[in-house]
Amino acid sequence: MSEEYCVPIKKRKRRGCIEPNCTAYARDKTGKCVAHGGGNRCDELNCQASAQGTTGKCVAHGGGNRCDEPNCQASAQGTTGKCVRHGGGNRCPNCIDWIDSRCGKEAYDWHCATCFKQLFPEDPRSVHVYSHTKEMMVMLKINAEFEGFIHDIPLFTGNCDCTHRRRIDHRKMIGNTILAVETDEYGHRGYDKTDEEIRYHDLFMIHSGKWIFIRFNPDTNVSKTDIEDKLDNLVGTMKENIGRIEREENTESLEIIKLYC
């Protein structure tokens, strides 16, 4: 058939949102985009979020695809069938096979921020990774007061398939005891307690000596204590426990000390 007989198909022009300066498309007959109230809304009382699919509910109220892990009600990411915590979404290619793998971010070429900083320390983006986090404040304080603490390097043995590559924020081996400091922003309130217990067991399999964990919450909105006072208390607690370790006064296999958690 020659071109003169071909009739181009006209595409239906989509309406823009009627809100001023909004370039998104309008949904249904509302004249507004999803962000401004268009489309189907969640049917929960007083909720104005967008309903997902045919569920009639937003993600926060159970709409959309849920994680297929037992007893998990979080939202599944993409086509993975799992939430971010259980391995859904775009995973960092460097730690994708680790038990505590993290999501990759486009800003870091789809690596997680931690792996990107370790793999590409000279990249200008690596300088920005931790420049404003509370964990960096803790690291700088520890490095100023102590020597030998390792920061955020996966702990694993060198003669196995390394199925356990657990990260510890700050750690130091003293005798047969590892003193570990974890920066628990917001007190790790969103973390699964069962996962935390499994993490302790995994770490004990790697180092079967003694452990002292100091779980440190740096957030002022929880305890209303100034961050500088918190850091001073952390240093004092670390010095006290270093002394206990050196005097062999720590007799338990695992001790967990919570500061402001």
Q: Is pLDDT above 50 for 259?
A: yes
| Residues 156, 162 contacting (CB under 8 angstroms) | yes
Q: What is the pLDDT of residues 19-77, one digit of tens each?
A: 888 887 777 777 778 777 777 778 777 777 777 767 777 777 777 777 887 877 777 77
DSSP 50-109: BPPTTSSS-GGGT-S-B--STT--SBP-TTSSS-TTTT-SSBPTTTTTSTT--B-BGGGT
Which 3 state secondary structure label does DSSP give 241?
helix
Identify the band that residue 260 occupies on the pLDDT scale cut at 50, 70 and 90: confident
Q: Which CATH architecture has domain 134-259?
A: 3-Layer(aba) Sandwich (3.40)
In sequence order, the β-bridge partners of residue 212 are 179, 255
pLDDT tens sequence across 211-250 = 999 999 888 665 577 888 899 999 999 999 999 999 999 9
- What band does 197 get if pLDDT is binned at 50, 70 and 90? low
Which of residues 125 and 233 earns the better pLDDT score? Answer: 233
Ordered by start, the domain boundaries in the chain are 15-64, 65-129, 134-259
The predicted structure's pLDDT at residue 124: 86
Helix (H) or strand (E) holding 228: helix 227-246
DSSP 11: P
Q: What is the DSSP letter of 188?
A: G
pLDDT beyond 90 at 114 = no
